[in-house]
Amino acid sequence: MADQPLIAILDYGIGNLHSAHKGFDHAGADARLTADRGLIAEAAGVVLPGVGAFRPCMEALQASGLDEVALEVIGRGTPFFGICIGMQLLCAGSEESPGCAGLGVFEQTVVRLPDGVKHPQMQWNVLDRRAPEHPMFAGQPAEAWMYFVHSFAAEDGPDVVATCDYGGPLVAAVARDDLWAVQFHPEKSGENGLRMLESFVTLAGDRAGVVA
């Protein structure tokens, strides 16, 4: 039996941590929900999940010390996946929480969804892929539907690889090298979401020299 790539899900005590853990477990990873710096450093890939409001999540991440760990991991080029609020925390900041800085990996600010649509967006929506050949979308159907629950989204920027239509185009996914981040919940998005998690596990395993 082939080895399973070790995927560390950052445990900062908030959000959809257990559902993300289960999702990556189903995707073929040796998924660990952990705050252990040594284990995170050994991981083939690292995941930052989250649900809720920007400030409480950012403060919890900082209190755990995992904000520094996340930046170290990203700086080393370890495959990294931000999910929902985890994606937003990678940005410079959010209109939801003025004065609370994010990790600043992506330069854009997170802004409120446009007027004229229901807040939050709580529905399935189809991805409009700007970079259809990106490995994030490997094996996805022509219309890839994902499940969204959010009232804020990142501004447009150079790293955006997919949007969705909700009162206009909203940023749904960003990627830079082996850093992926999505506004939707792949772990709650059925076969398409599982396929995306599997693509990340494959990426992490390839980078670490492990065959999943």
Question: Dihedral sign, CA of 96, 81, 71, 173?
Answer: negative
Which residue of the set 91, 150, 164, 185 is catalytic? Answer: 185
Residue 170: closest CA among 144, 191, 148: 148
Q: Name the E strands within the chain.
A: 6-10, 30-34, 45-48, 80-83, 93-94, 109-112, 121-126, 128-129, 145-150, 152-154, 160-165, 169-176, 179-182
d(C-alpha 7, C-alpha 187), whole Å: 14
DSSP helix/strand/coil, 60: helix
In which region does residue 36 sit, left (phi positive, over 0), alpha (psi from -120 to 50) or beta (all else)? beta
C-alpha span between 73 and 80 (Å, rounded):
8
Rounded CA separation 88/149 (Å) = 13
Among residues 21, 91, 187, 198, the one annotated as catalytic is: 187
- Residue 185 falls in the annotated catalytic set: yes
Task: Say which of 84, 91, 150, 164 is annotated catalytic.
Answer: 84
Q: Which residues are catalytic?
A: 84, 185, 187
